[in-house]
Amino acid sequence: MDYLGFPLHTIAVFTIFVIIALCIDFLGHKDKTTNLKSASIWSIFWVFISILFGLFVYYEHGKEMASLFFAGYILEKSLSVDNLFVIMAIFSWFKIPQEYRHRVLYFGIIGAITFRLIFVAIGSSLFLLASWVQLVFGAIILWTAFAMLGKSNNNEEIEDYSNHLAYKLVYKYFSVFPKIVGHHFFISRKTLALKLQENPNIKFSDKGSIIATPLLLCLCVIEVSDIMFAFDSVPAVIAISQEPLIIYSAMIFAILGLRALYFVLEALKQYLIYLEKAVIVLLFFIAIKILCNALYHMFGVGFEIPPLVSLYVIAFILSAGITLSILFSKTRE
């Protein structure tokens, strides 16, 4: 009997692949800063896992299905690069300590797996909403780029989130403790009492039994950004193949490797002084690309920037940031 167009054992193998890989990833990372060597090894690991599953598809279902999987994987990977830089902007906005970022991204990927499944089930209906969502999201990214431009040299961690915009938007509706408490997304009443004793002047609005921390706010914003980008990537992958399992597996394996690639760039920022500025330039480009594509599809105004052109621009800007960093570091020496 077939499920989603494939035998049950194929779905089982895909599920096992993902679960084992996620378990290895979770156990392999604790609350610590990921260095360049480790991040690079993990990036290679995720590519290897993706190729391994693609070879399984080739062995079980033939060359055509394997080709569709790899085509979907490469396309999703290409489209997800934009999300990578938005995630960097979100972490910069929240000033999340480096040692907690993997935990936030790990649970972010769990959410992405869930939402991608829902989006694949919705299918081509996403085309009806994609342009409107992209228009709003492009404007938000543009605002974020301007905000980062004004604070590009401010890397101090936030001690109290009471004045943070994300906190102000939600604290009236549910309980959020305005300080990071280790790697926890939620804290207990007992922990809250201790923290309030340590910080008697802190502002705290008690709205219920569940008490969140700024890490949860950051996670929610990352999830929202992933959902916004899904409006762009899911219809594009669906255009390649209408096989639900091929679409879903290609997207999931691409997303799994995105997190490791984030830490490669994050580690490089320690050595390349102009890489962060290049990321800000990329955010401006991503915002303009999303807005142009949305306006073109909605009103036929302007032009559409294809994914391949976008990749070339991203590669050029990153290369420029790396080259300038190397040249200026040599000059300083």
Q: In 3D, which of 282, 253, 248 has the Cα closest to residue 265?
A: 282
Residue 4 has a pLDDT of 53
d(CA 40, CA 260) in angstroms, rounded, equals 7
Residue 126 has a pLDDT of 61
Decide if 307 contacts 236 (C-beta within 8 A): yes
Residue 1 has a pLDDT of 45
pLDDT tens-place string over residues 174-195: 889 999 998 999 998 888 888 8
d(CA 310, CA 81) in angstroms, rounded, equals 10
Q: In 3D, which of 260, 236, 233, 268 has the Cα closest to residue 47?
A: 260
Q: In 3D, which of 235, 62, 38 has the Cα closest to residue 133?
A: 235
Residue 163 has a pLDDT of 87
Look at residue 240 and give its three-state secondary structure: helix
DSSP state at residue 176: B
Q: In 3D, which of 208, 201, 229 has the Cα closest to residue 79?
A: 229
Q: In 3D, which of 213, 205, 154, 203 has the Cα closest to residue 183?
A: 213
Residue 31 has a pLDDT of 64
Give the helix/strand (H/E) hosting 186: strand 186-187
pLDDT tens digits in sequence order for the chain, 333 residues long: 444 556 788 888 899 988 988 888 877 766 677 788 888 988 999 999 999 999 999 998 889 999 999 999 998 888 888 888 999 999 988 999 988 999 999 999 999 988 888 888 776 566 566 678 888 888 888 888 888 877 655 666 788 898 888 998 888 888 899 999 989 999 988 888 888 888 878 877 777 778 999 999 999 999 998 888 887 788 778 778 778 888 899 999 999 888 889 999 888 887 888 888 898 999 999 999 989 988 888 888 878 888 888 889 999 999 999 899 888 865 554
Look at residue 207 and give its three-state secondary structure: coil
Residue 154 has a pLDDT of 60
DSSP state at residue 15: H
d(CA 196, CA 166) in angstroms, rounded, equals 21
Decide if 181 contacts 213 (C-beta within 8 A): yes
How big, in percent rounded to 5, are the helix, strand and coil portions of the chain?
75, 5, 20
Which residues sit opposite 187 in a β-bridge?
211
Residue 195 has a pLDDT of 85
Look at residue 163 and give its three-state secondary structure: helix
Structure tokens of 254? 């691409």
Question: Could you tell me which residues come within 8 angstroms of residue 98 by beta carbon, excluding any fewer than 6 positions away?
Answer: 33, 34, 266
Decide if 178 contacts 162 (C-beta within 8 A): yes
**Axis crossing angle, helix 36-61 with helix 63-94, rounded to the nearest 10:** 150
d(CA 79, CA 233) in angstroms, rounded, equals 6
Give the helix/strand (H/E) hosting 6: strand 6-7
